[in-house]
Amino acid sequence: MTDAALQRLTARLQSIYAELPDVDCGAVAAQILRLMTAFQEQRSQPVADSERWSQQDIILITYGNSIQNGADVPLQTLAQFLRQHLLDTINAVHLLPFFPYSSDDGFSVIDYRQVNPDWGDWGDIATLARDFDLMMDLVINHCSRENLWFIDFISNREPYTEYFIEVDPGQDVSLVTRPRNTPLLTPVHTHRGRRHVWATFSEDQVDLNFANPLVLLEFIQIFLFYIEQGARFIRLDAIAFLWKKLGTRCLHLPQTHEVVKLLRDVVDLCAPDVIIITETNVPVAENLSYFGRSDEAHMVYQFGLPPLVLHALNRGNADFLTRWAADIPALPKGCTYLNFTASHDGIGVRPVEQILPEREVQDLIDCMHRFGGFVSTKANQDGSESPYEINISLFDACMGTRRGVDHFQVPRFLCAQSMMLSMQGIPAVYLHSLTATPNDIAHVEQTGRTRSINRKLWQLDELEYLLSNPVTPQAEVFNELRRLIQIRRRQPAFHPNACQSVIHINSDVFILQRQCQQQQLFAIANVTERILTLPLAALGFLPSGLVDLIAPQGEAVTEQLKLAPYQVVWLTDAVF
């Protein structure tokens, strides 16, 4: 490591701690540099920067215990299932938090450096990493009340007395942005008496104090440790809330952005093949701010995509989705999006603020209630509550439209997945989307948490039976999604860097044009339950002689384009 690296880290730390003059930024930078040097000495040469991503990149999102067989630990069962069914389909796995935890299905971490012993061990993680690239979560904003750091805080042991944020309960915290409807401050009995600590998400998830550079150093060590264990992607969970300053929203503060940039500095200097992704379930402009000037996150979640795709299919109208997609800014150099339609969390409605009218959002929520879903709320500054996310299995969210349940659930759901796979960026497919998992109401009743509706724990024999029976929706969706993904991975026009433009002809269809030097491709989705017949003469943007990649025989489109309800076509001038 060079003097230039030390100067770069010092300058970044000075930006973070500009309002805390007692912090010796040079000394902290020197400690970070020592950590990086030791890390680099143990690591083989990374791949070239130009190979960061390609159309081959498909990420599967899953918990480590989502598939169980009762004999092996879940991580071994998961690895067995993925090797057997998905080696030719995905190349990366987002393994949701697999650490010992006390709540929130892993996002209340007790020990950041251990694997949950009920699920497996680091050897099982290494086994997965041999076959797949890994995305790991850095749960950076908060930890569990059962974490030893917090136990030492309660016991008044240094240095942990400064690891958490104490606030006088009489202090005005009304400006603080709340993603939940629980109190911001939670009481705790310590050896120094009763204290109130900052807890953004729940009383069991206590926020960490990044104004203390020892906390920052702790997490840089953990960050590098995860890369040592095989992480190609590091997801910064709930990063937007990281820095606290009373009198502000405590959301997206400049110091938070500077911490992300510091982590980017670290990987640029010693692990340039690693990709940082920020998890910020907020309106579009706020979300995109985490690209910085190509010096912050490499990837951000396309949080507007899930609610807008669902709205288009539920409404039979693609206008809002088309308008949003057309307004997506050009990607900064070296950056891309992570596209998804479902994940372990619900379908956020905050990202469509100022995009969907409130009446449209409420109508969608009402419909999801009828399809067995729930809605989680957040607290507002005026004491009221408003919708934050819809909790429902995406497969069951597609069981009908606002007119009610119908027989188009499977094609409607596959339409949602195909549109997501067409978007510029890297696709991430939730395990429960791949397996067409329905609402798990029994799991909600067991845990008391509405998010459990979309976090089913499959028994391997049950899942294998359903996938082996061609008449089940699970087999139909699983096999067709695998086929679509395998087609997609061969097309240069689906490279994350390939250009994207949006074409609007009417509200019935959502149309993307993807283009690179080798290939031009048009992704056209019918978002209605009607058969559409579109004469090519009326589609002046379509050149003649295009072939539909999705059609079983690679059919050429000649005089007209006929689309069945919810059908998607990928029309191209070059087949790969």
CATH number for the domain that contains residue 361: 3.20.20.80
Q: Check residue 95 and give its pLDDT.
A: 98
423 belongs to a structural domain = yes
Residue type, 399: M
CA angle 348, 222, 104 (to 5 degrees): 35
How many helices and strands, by DSSP H and E, does the chain display?
17, 26
How far is it, in rounded angstroms, from Cα 180 to Cα 403? 31
Please enumerate, by residue number, every residue annotated as part of a binding site for substrate: 104, 142, 235-237, 344-345, 451
Q: Is residue 410 part of a domain?
A: yes
Residue 453 in domain: yes
For position 285, what pLDDT does the model report? 87
Strands 532-535 and 520-526: unpaired
Chunk the chain into consecutive blocks of 10 residues (it has 576) and report each block's average pLDDT, rounded to whole numbers: 91 97 96 96 65 95 97 97 98 98 96 98 97 98 98 97 96 92 94 96 97 98 97 97 96 98 97 96 89 97 96 98 95 96 94 93 96 90 84 98 97 98 98 98 94 97 97 98 98 97 96 96 97 86 88 81 96 90
Give the domain extent around 416: 54-144+209-323+337-482
Across-strand partners of 561? 534
What is the model's pTM? 0.96
How many structural domains is the chain composed of? Answer: 1
In this structure, what are the phi and psi dihedrals at residue 256, rounded to the nearest 5 degrees? -60, -45
Q: In whole angstroms, give the CA distance from residue 429 to residue 390.
A: 18
As annotated, the active-site residues are 237
Query: How far apart are alpha carbons 73 and 66 in whole angstroms?
Result: 11
Residue-level pLDDT at 467? 98
**Does residue 168 lie within any of the structural domains?**
no
CA distances 480 to 301, 307, 475, 550, Å, are 25, 23, 8, 10
Beta bridge partners of 510: 525
In a domain, residue 514? The reply is no
User: Given this model, what pLDDT does residue 545 score?
Assistant: 82
- Identify the bridge partners of residue 60 per DSSP, sorted by sequence position: 93, 429
Number of neighbouring beta carbons within 10 Å of residue 97:
23
Q: Which residues contact 439 (CB under 8 A, 6 or more apart)?
A: 371, 372, 373, 392, 393, 396, 453, 454
**Is 455 inside any structural domain?**
yes
Q: Residues at the annotated binding site?
A: 104, 142, 235-237, 344-345, 451
pLDDT score recorded for residue 50: 59
| Spatial distance between the Cα atoms of 287 and 216, rounded to a whole number of angstroms | 23
pLDDT of residue 379: 78
**Joined tokens for residue 394:** 């995406």
Tell me if 36 is assigned to some domain: no
Cis before residue 159, ω within 30 degrees of 0?
Answer: yes
- Inside any domain, residue 362: yes
State which H helix or E strand residue 262 sits in.
helix 254-270
Task: Compute the distance between CA of residue 26 and CA of residue 420 in angstroms, rounded to an integer.
Answer: 45
